Chains A and B, each alone.
Chain A
């Protein structure tokens, strides 16, 4: 499809502004002004509407396709939460209003949303305090690692290392590293869990924290998790819980009870806010005990008279990590979702997410090798296309074939430690019929790998484009449209 810039016609307008109702009275000195206007598209409103409506149709999305993208929890996003966030009483609220004198009083409803959300998250996870400020999961991780650092500094300790398993999300080591730590990677043992011998070897008084996902990225719940957290605490290190996989364990276990000290939650995953084509997300960070002193400011507090206020006077705080109170619109949607589901609904979420993933695993394990040959998984299962590799078929080919069948492919080539990995996260909101058609397509792909590998190699054939040359894109980057005259 042509770019909106290529549809531009000089003089066309998509929206009109009101007449200037004040005198045109001033002229800004030329030295402060740009020489030429920005070359933005010149299109009618219909041009724009048609362009973006048609672009929207060139995507797979949860609302149009099954989207079992492992690790991303692409569950259905209820519509009423969109309506909640669009309410003018919230969407038009200026974030600096609480700064005006008596200020919190101008935004009591919004502060109550934040306060209540933090408290629900505390109960769900067992943590003592939450901050909704982090703007995405990785941002929550970075905030968490900064809390680790502030905590040790406060104790007068200098610690250098953060331990992550080799199955971790890439954001874990990246967050630790940009916060100033050296990363120590512990390999996964033959049983699919972190190698305990190696873990014990690298644990020392130089270790600031251990970052884990539980269930991990392989979809396994480590029954020995308590031993891991106990060992870390013995060494004076903090335990960080990557909440990316929380959808598996709501009401089944809580990070704090397992011995984790700091965590983040991806509200957009577990609490069903739309992923927006890449974002916005929201990554509230929760802590136990005295770590609450270090949380970013401001903190939402309830006064004795029941009103809400923002507290900036926290001596040990790490400071500002976001301009205001987090991605409020996203938090509001997650809050609405939690209220609608309630206790039983949330427990049902995890039970059915785990049921659906195990069903996929049970029916696919004859056709694809399950990671570490395990029979059971939690909310997602990792399969390997290594058996198909012998026939020249890669996980990538299977993924592209699934696109032709109308399915968004699973996450592929992650975790990095599983050869030809395909990570399937069906979520609790997909029906059995949908899972069955997906499973049939996966089985078909496996059969085709033997019978007609070229059919897989040439996929997809039903999309607006065929397989794209990613190498050429990186070698000669073309990252923007340029007017021809330039």
Chain B
């Protein structure tokens, strides 16, 4: 199947109009020496055969495991209406709304999405989306470098290691200096951050909740950083913002994060949703698309892509970013998800995640040899210390049907016995109990 509608006679007519005898003539200027040395591909298959084959591959995945694993990516329930609405092909087969009059649906949706991100973070301006939480953090760091004219960035090591590593990759040729500060008793070490803060510091990067699940109030770090003229960037987990202090309430300048938790399937790592929100004074340094309200020539409200002088298609090598395609469809999912949950539902969702995790903490702490770390409050993810290597425990738990958490030794030296456990609203009391019982039995084994 190739989805090409041209019949032989239509092709003849088209070739006639062009004035050539064959399609081959249209490729004549690709000289023989440039022709493919090989093009050894399998023959095409029917849709049915391809689907059956992919199903057989799907069966090789352990998608049946009950997820107690998070690490920045969470198994939340997705209401059916999200799939139904984002699955409307009038949305998903459109592209970037360059022509606003025939793209009002998308532009209004982006404007509404931007409002959701502003409401959740408390900040003034959001863009239309970035690729993921990691690239969003990188874009925020580069914004801070441009805004301050400084090149030193302090990164709390409670920031997801994946994101920190991405930051270092992207800036490896840019003379940006990173200083990592430690996490002490689960939280950002103020003393260390302040020690490194100086008049060369562009930004301090923190995460809430941090990778260990600990929640924090960075207001003090913000005050201190601003005294040095540095900005504060916080990477945040949107579902937690149904409950936790907002970046704006802490005085944070730029908030970023991974929006996967808002109605986007885990899908083995993507497509996801990077979001970024800033104080108004920084909006002209934002990367990517931004939708804005305006009026048509009759004075009627409508929406357009705006502040485009920042972007690559206009500014080329002087653009704020090279981003072109973004994650619009994922942003739409986040918007629909937030609209369905609404003001009260979102608050309740966050509370439910928190309560379930607290319950799990209680249950797990009763297991002999298991220590639930309690040095700082957490949201829906927390750290437990096991009597055995966490990798080993995880392996045994797979046989019991659980992806029981993330073994922290994979990212942090000296934490080989530590497990990071996430509990979302999807985990029932029964699953939590079974999880605890299974863990107890594998630890005894």
Whether, in the assembled complex, B437 has its beta carbon less than 8 Å from a beta carbon of chain A, the answer is no
Residues of A within 8 A of B142 (CB): 178
The one of B93, B112, B323, B344 in contact with A61, judged by C-beta atoms closer than 8 angstroms, is: B93
Residues of B within 8 A of A361 (CB): 18
- Tell me which of B61-69, B190-198, B225-233 binds A: B61-69
**What would 15 more interface pairs be, CB under 8 Å, given A55-B108, A142-B322?**
A32-B245, A38-B343, A38-B347, A39-B343, A40-B341, A63-B90, A92-B266, A100-B395, A135-B131, A141-B322, A279-B327, A320-B134, A429-B3, A465-B302, A481-B112
Whether, in the assembled complex, A299 has its beta carbon less than 8 Å from a beta carbon of chain B, the answer is no
Chain A residue at smallest Cβ distance from B248:
A34
Pairwise interchain contact A106-B101, C-beta atoms closer than 8 A = no
A11 to B343, CA, bound (A): 9
A170 to chain B, nearest CB (A): 4
B249 to chain A, nearest CB (A): 6
Known A21-B429, A477-B292, A479-B291: A90·B58 in contact at CB below 8 Å? yes
Pairwise interchain contact B267-A278, C-beta atoms closer than 8 A = no
Pairwise interchain contact B23-A354, C-beta atoms closer than 8 A = yes
A48 to B410, CA, bound (A): 42
Whether, in the assembled complex, A394 has its beta carbon less than 8 Å from a beta carbon of chain B, the answer is no
Whether, in the assembled complex, A113 has its beta carbon less than 8 Å from a beta carbon of chain B, the answer is yes
Q: Is the interface of A mostly helix, strand, loop or mixed?
A: loop
Pairwise interchain contact A40-B58, C-beta atoms closer than 8 A = no
A400 to B99, CA, bound (A): 8
Whether, in the assembled complex, B212 has its beta carbon less than 8 Å from a beta carbon of chain A, the answer is no
Contacts A/B (CB < 8 Å), 26 sampled: A1-B104, A14-B342, A21-B430, A25-B358, A37-B347, A48-B336, A61-B94, A91-B266, A94-B75, A95-B269, A100-B403, A177-B318, A177-B322, A274-B329, A323-B133, A355-B15, A431-B5, A431-B6, A432-B10, A464-B104, A466-B300, A468-B294, A468-B302, A469-B296, A473-B304, A474-B292
Chain A residue at smallest Cβ distance from B38:
A123
- Tell me which of B114-122, B150-158, B177-185, B199-207 binds A: B114-122
From B11, B81, B94, B330, residue with most partner A Cβ within 10 Å? B94
Pairwise interchain contact A135-B132, C-beta atoms closer than 8 A = yes
Residues of B within 8 A of A16 (CB): 345
Residues of B within 8 A of A56 (CB): 85, 88, 90-91, 105
Residues of B within 8 A of A278 (CB): 95-97, 106, 128-129, 289, 325-329
Residues of A within 8 A of B45 (CB): 339-340, 342
Chain A residue at smallest Cβ distance from B14:
A359
Pairwise interchain contact B41-A343, C-beta atoms closer than 8 A = yes
Pairwise interchain contact A40-B93, C-beta atoms closer than 8 A = no
Whether, in the assembled complex, A414 has its beta carbon less than 8 Å from a beta carbon of chain B, the answer is yes
A138 to B18, CA, bound (A): 34
Whether, in the assembled complex, A292 has its beta carbon less than 8 Å from a beta carbon of chain B, the answer is no
Pairwise interchain contact B29-A183, C-beta atoms closer than 8 A = no
Residues of A within 8 A of B326 (CB): 136, 278-280
Whether, in the assembled complex, B445 has its beta carbon less than 8 Å from a beta carbon of chain A, the answer is no
Residues of B within 8 A of A38 (CB): 116, 119-120, 241-242, 343, 346-347
Pairwise interchain contact B135-A139, C-beta atoms closer than 8 A = yes
Residues of B within 8 A of A268 (CB): 325
Chain A residue at smallest Cβ distance from B311:
A170
Q: Mark B252-294, 1 if CB is under 8 A from A, else 0.
A: 0000001000000111111110000000000100000111111
Whether, in the assembled complex, B35 has its beta carbon less than 8 Å from a beta carbon of chain A, the answer is yes
Residues of B within 8 A of A429 (CB): 3-5
The one of B242, B297, B359, B407 in contact with A469, judged by C-beta atoms closer than 8 angstroms, is: B297
Whether, in the assembled complex, A226 has its beta carbon less than 8 Å from a beta carbon of chain B, the answer is yes
Whether, in the assembled complex, A409 has its beta carbon less than 8 Å from a beta carbon of chain B, the answer is yes
Residues of B within 8 A of A221 (CB): 29-30
- Tell me which of A64-72, A198-206, A232-240, A443-451 binds B: A64-72
B30 to chain A, nearest CB (A): 5
Task: Give residues 1-39 of A contacting B (CB, 8 Å).
Answer: 1, 3-5, 8, 11-18, 20-26, 28-29, 31-35, 37-39
Residues of A within 8 A of B2 (CB): 341, 344-345, 348-349, 428
Pairwise interchain contact A329-B271, C-beta atoms closer than 8 A = yes
The one of A72, A126, A277, A470 in contact with B97, judged by C-beta atoms closer than 8 angstroms, is: A277
Residues of A within 8 A of B317 (CB): 173-174, 176-177, 183
Pairwise interchain contact B298-A466, C-beta atoms closer than 8 A = yes
A252 to B173, CA, bound (A): 37
A97 to B67, CA, bound (A): 10
The one of B79, B166, B174 in contact with A320, judged by C-beta atoms closer than 8 angstroms, is: B166
Known A90-B268, A276-B92: A22·B241 in contact at CB below 8 Å? no
The one of A94, A252, A347 in contact with B67, judged by C-beta atoms closer than 8 angstroms, is: A94
What 8 A-B pairs have minimum CB-CB distances, sorted nearest first? Answer: A324-B269, A342-B44, A89-B58, A276-B329, A278-B328, A95-B269, A280-B271, A58-B105
Whether, in the assembled complex, A110 has its beta carbon less than 8 Å from a beta carbon of chain B, the answer is yes
Pairwise interchain contact B61-A89, C-beta atoms closer than 8 A = yes
Task: Give residues 1-52 of B contacting A (CB, 8 Å).
Answer: 1-6, 10-11, 13-15, 17-20, 23, 26-27, 29-31, 33-47, 50-51
B29 to chain A, nearest CB (A): 5
Pairwise interchain contact A466-B296, C-beta atoms closer than 8 A = yes
B173 to chain A, nearest CB (A): 4
Chain A residue at smallest Cβ distance from B10:
A432
Chain A residue at smallest Cβ distance from B309:
A474
Residues of A within 8 A of B332 (CB): 277
Whether, in the assembled complex, B144 has its beta carbon less than 8 Å from a beta carbon of chain A, the answer is no
Residues of B within 8 A of A277 (CB): 91-92, 94-97, 106, 109, 328-329, 332
Residues of A within 8 A of B39 (CB): 123-124, 251, 254, 343, 347
Pairwise interchain contact A478-B293, C-beta atoms closer than 8 A = yes
Residues of A within 8 A of B417 (CB): none
Residues of A within 8 A of B346 (CB): 37-38, 40
Whether, in the assembled complex, B377 has its beta carbon less than 8 Å from a beta carbon of chain A, the answer is yes
